[in-house]
A and B are shown apart, each in its own frame.
Chain A
Amino acid sequence: MNLERLKQVTYVDVTLWLMRAIIILLVIAGTIGTVIKDRYTTEQWVSMVMFGLTIGGIYALIALGYTMVYGILRLINFAHGDIFMTGAFTAYFVAAPLAKSGFLDEYLIVGMIIISLVAMTVCSCIALIVERICYRPFRSVRSLAPLICAIGASFFLQHAFRGMYGSSVRAYPDVKFFDTVVSIMGFNFPRIQFVVVIAALAAMYTLYLIVNKTKMGTAMRAVSEDRDAAALMGIDVNKVIIFTFILGGSMAGIGGVLYAFVFKQVYFFMGFFPGIKAFSAAVLGGIGNVPGAMLGGFFLGVVESLGPALFLDGLGIVAPYQLRDLIAFTMLVMVLIFRPQGILGERLARQRA
């Protein structure tokens, strides 16, 4: 009955189905193996999910910058990871004296707001400069030039910071409040992890409100749907693009400060890997899609944290944590093959098609 359809099946289809089946089988076998081994306690599993949510929240904040710029300009801003670094690095010079004087321990919320504002301002300004110098001249050019320029900007930022502050690592101050343990439903977690997840969620909710409820947000969505039509409707496209870069920069700034307080170290190259991971998260969630980037970030963080223990350990793989990046990027490749539009879908592209 369906002979006609069967005839249309190609070798590529069969191979892809086989790949899917193999990966799903591996994941199931690994998970069963881990369950049988029963190596981890419930508390340890919950801790690992929490580690994943912590780093995932930071990925999500950076991913938002990638996704918004892509939504408006159809451009991957490869310098975004380094913009994240500039904020965290500059805020160090505020955080260190604040902690030393005891201000940060005494007025934690005010201190954190000051540090975050500095990081947000620096990130936004650098994002704007990168946009003005590297992207705007190429805005109407259909070529790879803006992409190459973005990579150049990324190198420039890294080495500018290396030149200014040296290649050594700087330690973020310890804050007493963050070092304490918080107990929820019988599980203990370091307080900083909660702070990061809640702060990331709050920042994302604010962004969601800006994009969906304000006039500027409406303009952003209009420009991302059709730039020319939006311009004809009287929207100042330049203004919208600048606003997008400021928003993306601010999210990266908050992400940078949270990252720095979790991992306590900043150096000139720190933005590269979180940047790549966040870009993967944006693609995972569906690039150009704001809720998708948030979901992609958290999802990537949790899979990275749980994956080695859940899938690889059960398969008997030695030293599975070395393969953590492999899990993350395999997932990215799988998404690109089987669901190129991402988990939530590249909403705009679909509407256009």
Chain B
Amino acid sequence: MKPSFLLKSLAAASIVAVGALASSAAWAVKVGPVEDPIRVVKIPKGAPIVIATYHVISGADTALGLDTQRGAVVAADDLGNTLVGHPIKFMHEDDGCNAEGGQTAATKIAANQQVVAALGGACSSATRPAAPILWKAGIPDVATAASSPVLTAPDRGPSYDGLVRIVYNDLWAGREVANWAYKVRGYKKAATIHDGSPYAEKLVRVFQENFKKLGGEVVSDEAVAPNDTDMRPVLTKIATAKPDFIYAPTFVGVTSYLIRQKKEIPGLEKVALVGSDASMGAQLMEASGKDLLGFEISTTAMEPEAQGPGYKAMREKYKKLFGEYPIQGFHGNGYDAMMLVANAIKKVAVTEKDGTTYIPIKALRDAMFATKNMQGVTGKITCDQYGDCGVYNFAIYQYTNPDPKTLEPGKNPKRIYPEKF
């Protein structure tokens, strides 16, 4: 045989092979009795159904991630730790609340093709790189506490097609704060401070837009670096603009310095400072000392009465399983995320007589997006076409005691708006 003929036939064969591979991507996958355009997870009889979670479970923000993760575990317990006849098995990963951690966690989860769905993350910065990696591997994801608008923006792109979000969108938060400040408090001139983080900057922009639309004026638009400690120069600048209030949805460090140093600036002694739930918790109380008194934050309502009907029972079960009451504010979101996935799996899973279950992923993703009026512990959950499913009960809280031991959402900080739900 001539070498040139060999080469030609090899080339032809490889072209055919490549063509076959390329076209197979468009074909549906058929496993057992189920067909799906993306993939089908086959779970043999007795084998567990694997749900992955990724949250921040190390470092300074541990409480945020751990609380959310525990919420999902409570939900599984409420389901009897079984789903469509298989035991539920969790794969818990740590995303460190940053982009690198999110990428690592998602890559690890994506490597396990038995994973049916993922829950997480609690931070937008981790969820942003993680969700596309998961969806590329055919794993739909429920963001539990990542509130950045970009995750569910209409232009988020097809790589986020597998992502729904069970927490509120910051677009709503910014709008509500502007409404409250202008209409309820009667503030006409606002100053804003952000720390350059995607969360705070976007929230401030949304607030400014809405505040101006209502007829208010943003007299000072400032930013600091997240590691700054001396806020007095920037506060002095704000004082020259004579605002009615200062909106600073920053994290614990910057917020506590603002709280402490505001009183030193002539002209700002009586000006209200309003923060957000990014800084909520015992850390801020410890860091701000007695100057915390009167500090206000905007957030979604946190008291048991403001949640869905199942919340109180869930809270007790949390205590029973983990020996303490919830340590942060997003356990309800973790719980609802797990329930949303469980409901969707129940809808699409096919179990054969021999006990083998098949879960088509595209159908699962569509069932998740089609969630409507699901009664969750955070409220009634309905998803829109971009995956926003969160419940938002806007409320303003005010600290009444600087002692971290007295932290109890509802009492300290106390809800000052709205008076009733």
Contact = CB atoms under 8 A, between A and B. Distances in A.
Contacts of A309: 233, 236-237
B236 A48 contact: yes
B286 A321 contact: no
A171 B60 contact: no
Interface in B341-363: none
Nearest to A166: B60
Interface stretch (B216-224, B331-339, B390-398): B216-224
Nearest to B240: A39
A169 B289 contact: no
Interface string B242-285: 00000000001100110010001110000000000000000100
Given A48-B236, A169-B252, A309-B237, A321 B223 contact: yes
Nearest to B257: A263
Contacts of B33: none
B227 interface: yes
Contacts, number: 86
Contacts of B225: 322, 324-325
B230 to A, nearest CB: 6
Given A322-B224, A322-B225, A324-B228, A44 B59 contact: no
B207 to A, nearest CB: 15
B289 A174 contact: yes
Interface string B306-338: 000000000000000000000000000000000
A264 B60 CA distance: 19
Contact of B289 (A40, A55, A167, A264): A264
Contacts of B223: 319, 321-322
A174 B236 CA distance: 22
A169 B287 contact: yes
Contacts of B260: 263-264
B96 to A, nearest CB: 13
Contacts of B236: 40, 44, 47-48, 309
Given A47-B232, A51-B233, A319-B222, A169 B283 contact: yes
A106 interface: no
B239 interface: yes
Given A188-B266, A264-B289, A325-B225, A169 B240 contact: no
Instruction: Report, as a range, how many residues of chain A touch the other chain.
Output: 20 to 34
B288 to A, nearest CB: 7
Contact of A318 (B60, B221, B224, B256): B221
A51 B224 contact: no
A170 B290 CA distance: 13
A168 B281 CA distance: 12
Contacts of B91: none
A150 to B, nearest CB: 21
A341 interface: no
Interface string A27-45: 0000000000001110110
A170 B284 CA distance: 10
B196 interface: yes
Interface residues of B, number: 33
Nearest to A264: B260
B234 interface: yes
A47 B225 CA distance: 21
B385 interface: no
Interface in A1-59: 39-41, 43-44, 47-48, 51, 55
Contacts of A190: 264
Contacts of B227: 273
A304 B239 CA distance: 19
B9 interface: no
Q: Which of A263, A309, A321 has the most CB of B within 10 A?
A: A321
A305 interface: yes
Contacts of A170: 286
Interface in A287-305: 304-305
Interface in B372-391: none
A44 B60 CA distance: 36
A82 interface: no
Nearest to B267: A44
Nearest to B226: A322
A239 B237 CA distance: 50
Given A313-B237, A319-B221, A169 B230 contact: no
Contacts of A40: 236-237, 240
Interface string A174-186: 1000000000000
Nearest to B236: A44
B229 interface: yes
A18 to B, nearest CB: 29
Contacts of A171: 286-289
A55 B227 CA distance: 15
Contacts of A313: 237
Contacts of A325: 225
B411 to A, nearest CB: 22
A121 interface: no
A169 B286 contact: yes
A308 interface: yes
Q: Which of A39, A188, A263, A306 has the most CB of B within 10 A?
A: A263
Nearest to B265: A47
A298 B404 CA distance: 37
Given A171-B289, A322-B223, A43 B230 contact: no
A47 B267 CA distance: 13
A27 B350 CA distance: 71
B164 to A, nearest CB: 32
Contacts of B228: 321, 324
Given A319-B222, A322-B223, 7 more contacts: A40-B236, A47-B266, A169-B283, A169-B287, A174-B290, A273-B229, A321-B224
Closest A-B pairs by Cβ, 4 of them: A319-B223, A322-B223, A321-B234, A169-B287
30 contacts: A44-B240, A47-B236, A47-B265, A47-B266, A48-B233, A48-B236, A167-B59, A168-B286, A169-B256, A170-B286, A171-B286, A171-B288, A188-B266, A263-B229, A263-B230, A263-B260, A264-B260, A273-B229, A304-B230, A308-B234, A308-B237, A313-B237, A319-B222, A321-B223, A321-B237, A322-B196, A322-B223, A322-B224, A322-B225, A324-B233
